[in-house]
Amino acid sequence: MEFAPDALTRAKTEAVRAFLDECVIPAEPVLAAEVEATPDDWSPRPVVRALQRAARERGLWNLFLPGVHGGELTNLQYAPVAELSGRSPRLAPVAMNCAAPDTGNMELLAQFGSPEQRAEWLEPLLEGRIRSAFCMTEPAVASSDASQIATGIRREGEQYVINGRKWFATGAMNPDCAILIVMGKTDPEGPRHRQQSMILVPRKTPGVTVVRSLPVFGYDDRDHGGHAEILFENVRVPAANLIGEEGSGFAIAQARLGPGRVHHCMRAIGMAERALDLVRERASERTAFGGLLADKGTVRTWAAESRIEVEALRLLVLKTAWLMDTVGNKQAMTEIQAIKIAVPRAVQRILDRAIQLFGAAGLSHEQPLAEMFAAARAMRLADGPDEVHLAALGKAELRPRTPTAPH
C-alpha cells in the first residue's frame, strides 16, 4: 500500500494547477460578464474558446480518456486532474474537453461505438468541434428503474423510429450540441435488463424538438447548454446508428456510469476544496462580535469537519479509481455506489457551511458557493437517486458471506 502519487500524476496535476491559477480562475469574471452581456445566448462564450486553445497548447486536452482508448492516464491518475477541474466547475472541465456529459459519451463511443460511429461522432467530440447530450431521464416515469423507460425505438426496415420524451438532457440547448445518445426500448417484452438499447440521434433530425430548458435551483446553466426537455416524434435514423446490439442498452449505461461517477465525485471534491479556500480567506479577514471568524469555535469546528470529510472521501474515490483500473468496473461496484452516495451529500454539507459563513454573499452570485451547492445537490439525483444505490449496496452488504469473501 502506498499513498504517494506517481510521477506522471504529479506532473499532470502540477500542470493543471498552473493552468487553473494562471488562466481559468482569472477567466471566471470574464465568463460572468460575457454571459450577462448576451443573456439569451446558449452558445459557449468566447472566453471558453480561448481557454480551450490554451489547454491544448499546454497538453491538457482529453485527459479523461482512459489509457485503453488511447489516453495517457489511468482512472487513478486522472482522478486528481478531475478534482482540480472541479475548483472552477463552469470553466475548467470544458476548457480541457473533460466536461460531462461529453466525457461519458466519448468513452461510450470509444468502447461500444462502431468504427463508423467513432469516425463520425467521436472524432469531432475529441477535437471539441461538437458537443453531445445523453438522453436518459424521462418526465413521466421513475427512470432510475430502467424497466420503466417509456421511449420506444422501433425497427422499421433499415431504420429505427424513435418516440418519447426526455428531459434534463444536459448540454442539449447548446447550438454546438450535434449528437444525442438516446436510451429507449427496442424490446419492451424482453427480460428486464435486455429491453433497452442506445441509439445515436443527430440533433437536427426531423421529429426532434428541443422543447425548453429546465433550471436547477433557478440556474439555467446556459453557458453549459442547459438541461433540455426533448420530444422525439417519429424520429427516423439509420439502423447503423444503434450502439452495440439491440438489448445492450442497460449494460452500456452501467459501463458508462462507473468512470462518470469517479469524475463527478472528484470534481465535487474539488468544489469542496475551492469552498474551503474561500472560507479560509473570509474567516481570516472578517470580524464579528469582537473577534476574527477564524477564531470562533463554531467556525473551527466547521472547518475541521469539512477537512475530515474531504480527506476520507477523496481516499475512497481514489481507491475506487484504482479498483476500476485493476479489477474492473464490475468488481468495483460497491465502491462506485459508495462514492456516488457519500461524496455529493458531503460536499453539499461543506458548501452549506461555507454559505453560512459568507452570509448573504454566499447565497448570491458574488461567490460560486450557491451555484456549486446546486450542482452538488443535483448530483444526488443524477444517474439515479442515492436511495436506489443505498438499497443496492445494503442488499449486497447483507448477503450471507462465504468464508472467502473479501471483507
Do β-strands 131-135 and 177-185 pair in parallel, antiparallel, or remain unpaired? parallel
Min separation Cβ 280 and a copy of itself, Å: 5
Minimum CB–partner distance for residue 392 and a copy of itself (Å):
8
Q: How far is the CB of 3 from a copy of itself (least distance, A)?
A: 5
Give the helix/strand (H/E) hosting 155.
strand 152-156
Report, in Å, the least distance between residue 132 CB and a copy of itself: 19
Query: CA nearest 259: which of 101, 386, 136?
Result: 101
How far, in Å, CA of 226 to CA of 214, rounded? 7
Helix (H, G, I), strand (E, B) or coil at 216: strand
Closest CB to a copy of itself among 181 and 393? 393
Count other C-beta atoms under 10 Å from residue 391's C-beta. 11
Q: Which of residues 4 and 37 has its CB atom nearest to a copy of itself in the complex? A: 4
| 218: alpha, beta or left? (left if phi > 0; alpha if psi -120 to 50) | left
- For residues 257 and 383, the answer to whether their CB atoms sit within 8 Å is yes
The residue among 119 and 292 lying less far from a copy of itself, judged by its C-beta, is 292
**Closest distance to a copy of itself from the beta carbon of 228 (Å):** 12
Closer Cβ to a copy of itself, 65 or 374, answer by number? 374
Nearer to a copy of itself, 37 or 204 (CB): 37
Q: Which three cell numbers stand for residue 2?
A: 502506498
Backbone angles phi, psi at 110, to 5 degrees: -60, -35
Nearer to a copy of itself, 201 or 355 (CB): 355
Give CA–CA dist 294/279, Å, rounded: 9
Residue 327 Cβ, how far from a copy of itself at the closest point, in Å? Answer: 10
Between 234 and 298, CB nearer to a copy of itself: 298
Q: Helical H runs in 158-216?
A: none
Kindly state the smallest distance separating residue 37's Cβ from a copy of itself, in Å: 15
Residue 113 and residue 122 in contact, taking contact as beta carbons nearer than 8 Å? yes
